[in-house]
């Protein structure tokens, strides 16, 4: 009986006529990003030298937390992993502020500065956790990192469209 | 009838009864074996990707009449599996979250995962498990929009990213190595926001770090496919009314590649391991038709039959109803 029911249901499902709806492309043309001026290109190239180290440092900060949670709960090891990351973010800030920023990109630059400050604060929050064990530090640090990473993407949208390819 | 004859008849009756019971038992067991309902949703579509960048053996050759080499570009869907098994609602891959960085990827037709699930009659909060085939940005996003989902990620995937980040040579540890995109280096494609989403799940105690094979629901099995796309790629075997399916994320980037034994979407990929992952699907499902590809350009058309029962949903993104468990209603409009 059960088998018969299954057969009937399967037959109804598989063999009943279905209305085919072919894929319809609704692609709408989107405006291409504005080409950067020579001055803006120069700024983007200078910022990239910092940015290419910011992204692995941001991911390294997440991974310090991931390893702590999944491997060993070793606060000293977490501290050892975070210290160079916090140092990097601290050192990168003055480098960033020294860049010559075209007026047209002042908002973009501010976003990047804000992101870097957030990453530095996040790393300090995580380091605070290694001192007092209060998990709220980790949650706060995570929220800051997420916001910083979103800002990084907003900047990337203007300066380096295409930095992440289909994977 | 002699005593021997009666004995023989009795024996024959017992054997016959036993055979019938075994057959019936097998049938009932088969009928009761849990099967899942499966849909496929297009998270977004990468537009006009050079075919050769996706499948080297299909690279466009100007003037060629060969069907293998006369297509210059392809549009690649980013497919997400929606799998309902009893009270479990499982996603295989979670797409990516478009904010205000759309142009970066040359993509189109993106829609939020929560809205896409609503089209199928589900809530994002109902998702119980999110299995990511790997942790690249376009497959492991939107995790924070699935508040109750437990993330399943391979230990090997995480270990390989950490290894790359700690490598002293800057190109090896690069996330985005040069303006214009990174070059398939070991950590390429693991953008900070995506890794924070993964970390967020772990931080909340909503993650399982899988070490190899694991059954996560009756008959629903994670299979490791290490280096078939990334260091810790993983497949998902799913029992359905049309047979077993195997989801492959980017280890199975292309259905045609699995059918024709070609590599596809080579990133942190060992081509031998990718072929072995294809073979795993052939062995589990009995062929290539039930291998679920993440970026097959023919998805949602007759040319990829598994996905042909399709329709256009939000923002031009497509969906397909692949298999229904007994009693499960169709969600196709």
Segment B183-239, tens digit of pLDDT: 788 988 899 999 999 999 999 999 999 999 999 999 999 999 999 999 999 999 999
Whether the CA torsion A33, A34, A36, A40 is positive or negative: it is: negative
Q: Give start and end residues of each alpha helix (H) in B122-267.
A: 155-165, 192-203, 255-260
Please give the pLDDT value at position B184: 83
Better pLDDT: A7 or B312: B312
The winner for highest mean pLDDT among A70-74, A113-117, A153-157 is: A113-117
Structure tokens at B110: 């993106």
Band the pLDDT of B32: cuts 50, 70, 90.
low
Segment B64-106, tens digit of pLDDT: 999 999 999 999 999 999 999 999 999 999 999 876 655 556 7
Q: Give start and end residues of each alpha helix (H) in chain B.
A: 3-32, 51-54, 113-119, 155-165, 192-203, 255-260, 271-285
User: Is the Cβ pair B202, A70 closer than 8 Å?
Assistant: yes
Please give the pLDDT value at position B105: 61
Residues of A in contact with B187 (CB under 8 A): 56, 59
Band the pLDDT of A167: cuts 50, 70, 90.
confident
Contact between B174 and B185 under an 8 Å Cβ cutoff? The reply is yes
The ipTM is 0.86
Percent of chain B with pLDDT over 70: 87
Residue A30 has pLDDT above 80, yes or no: no
Band the pLDDT of B289: cuts 50, 70, 90.
very high
Selection from B37, B79, B71 nearest residue B321 by Cα: B37
Does residue A62 belong to the interface with chain B, where contact is any CB pair within 8 Å? yes
Q: How would you write chain A as a 3-class SS string?
A: CHHHHHHHHHHHHHHCCCCCCCCCCCCCCCCCCCCCCHHHHHHHHHHHHHHHHHHHHHHHHHHHHHHHHHHHCCHHHHHHHHHHHHHHHHHHHHHHHCCCCCHHHHHHHHHHHHHHHHHHHHHHHHHHHHHHCCCHHHHHHHHHHHHHHHHHHHHHHHHCCCCCCCC
> How much is the pTM?
0.87
Q: Tell me the average pLDDT across B261-268.
A: 96
Cα B302 to Cα B78, B272, B297, B306, B332, distances in angstroms: 18, 29, 12, 8, 17
Residue A43 has pLDDT above 50, yes or no: yes
Segment A66-95, tens digit of pLDDT: 999 999 899 999 999 999 999 999 999 999
Please give the pLDDT value at position B275: 98
Neighbours of A99 (CB within 10 A): 16
Mean pLDDT score of chain A: 84
Please give the pLDDT value at position B17: 54
User: Is the Cβ pair A153, B101 closer than 8 Å?
Assistant: yes
d(CA B223, CA B193): 27
d(CA B294, CA B76): 9
d(CA A96, CA A91): 9
Please give the pLDDT value at position B224: 98
Better pLDDT: B270 or B12: B270
Please give the pLDDT value at position A23: 35
Selection from B138, B133, B139, B128 nearest residue B87 by Cα: B128
- For chain A, positions 8-27, list CB contacts with chain B under 8 A: 9-10, 13-14, 18, 20-27
Selection from B235, B241, B194 nearest residue B216 by Cα: B235
Please give the pLDDT value at position B182: 72
Q: Determine the distance in angstroms separating the CA of B9 from the nearest CA of chain A, rounded to an integer.
A: 30
User: Is the Cβ pair B241, A13 closer than 8 Å?
Assistant: yes
Please give the pLDDT value at position B116: 98
Selection from A84, A93, A106 nearest residue A39 by Cα: A106
Percent of chain B with pLDDT over 90: 79
């Amino acid at each position: 009986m059960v088998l018969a029911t299954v057969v009937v249901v399967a037959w109804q499902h598989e063999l009943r006529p279905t209305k085919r709806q072919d894929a319809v492309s609704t692609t709408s043309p989107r405006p291409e990003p504005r080409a950067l001026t020579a001055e803006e290109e120069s700024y983007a190239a200078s910022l990239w030298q910092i940015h290419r180290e910011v992204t692995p440092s941001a991911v390294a900060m997440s991974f310090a937390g991931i390893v702590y949670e999944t491997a060993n709960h070793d606060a000293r090891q977490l501290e050892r992993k975070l210290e160079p990351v916090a140092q990097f973010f601290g050192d990168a800030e003055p480098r960033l502020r020294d860049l010559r920023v075209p007026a047209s990109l002042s908002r973009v630059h501010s976003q990047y500065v804000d992101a870097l400050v957030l990453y530095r604060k996040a790393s300090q929050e995580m380091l605070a956790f290694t001192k007092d064990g209060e998990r709220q530090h980790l949650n706060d640090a995570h929220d800051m990192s997420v916001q910083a990473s979103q800002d990084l993407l907003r900047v990337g949208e203007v300066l380096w469209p295409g930095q992440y390819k289909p994977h | 009838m002699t005593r021997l004859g009666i004995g023989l008849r009795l024996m024959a009756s017992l054997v016959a009864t036993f055979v019938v019971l075994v057959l019936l038992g097998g049938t009932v067991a088969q009928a009761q074996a849990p099967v899942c309902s499966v849909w496929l949703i297009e998270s977004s579509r990468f537009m006009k990707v050079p075919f050769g960048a996706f499948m080297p053996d299909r690279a466009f050759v100007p003037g060629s009449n060969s069907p293998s080499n006369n297509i210059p570009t392809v549009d690649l869907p980013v497919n997400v599996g929606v799998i309902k098994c009893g009270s479990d609602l499982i996603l295989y891959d979670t797409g990516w979250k478009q904010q205000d960085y759309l142009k970066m990827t040359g993509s189109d037709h993106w829609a939020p995962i929560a809205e896409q699930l609503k089209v199928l009659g589900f809530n994002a909060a109902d998702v119980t498990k999110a299995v990511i085939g790997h942790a690249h940005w376009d497959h492991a996003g939107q995790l924070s929009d699935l508040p109750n989902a437990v993330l399943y990620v391979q230990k090997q995937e995480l270990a390989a990213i950490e290894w790359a980040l700690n490598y002293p040579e800057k190109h090896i540890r690069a996330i985005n190595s040069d303006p214009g995109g990174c070059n398939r280096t070991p950590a390429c494609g693991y953008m900070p926001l995506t890794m924070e989403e993964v970390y967020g799940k772990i931080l909340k105690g909503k993650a399982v770090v899988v070490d190899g094979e694991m059954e996560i629901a009756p008959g629903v099995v994670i299979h490791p496919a290490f280096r078939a796309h990334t260091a810790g790629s993983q497949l998902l075997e799913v029992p359905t009314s049309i047979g077993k399916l195997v989801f492959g994320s980017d280890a199975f980037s292309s259905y045609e590649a699995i059918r024709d034994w070609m590599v596809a979407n080579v990133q942190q990929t060992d081509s031998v391991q990718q072929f072995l992952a294809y073979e795993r699907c052939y062995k589990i499902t009995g062929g290539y038709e039930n291998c679920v590809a993440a970026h097959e350009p023919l998805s949602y058309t007759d040319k990829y039959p598994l996905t042909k029962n399709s329709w256009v949903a939000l923002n031009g993104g497509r969906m397909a109803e692949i298999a229904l468990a007994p009693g499960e209603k169709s969600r196709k409009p």
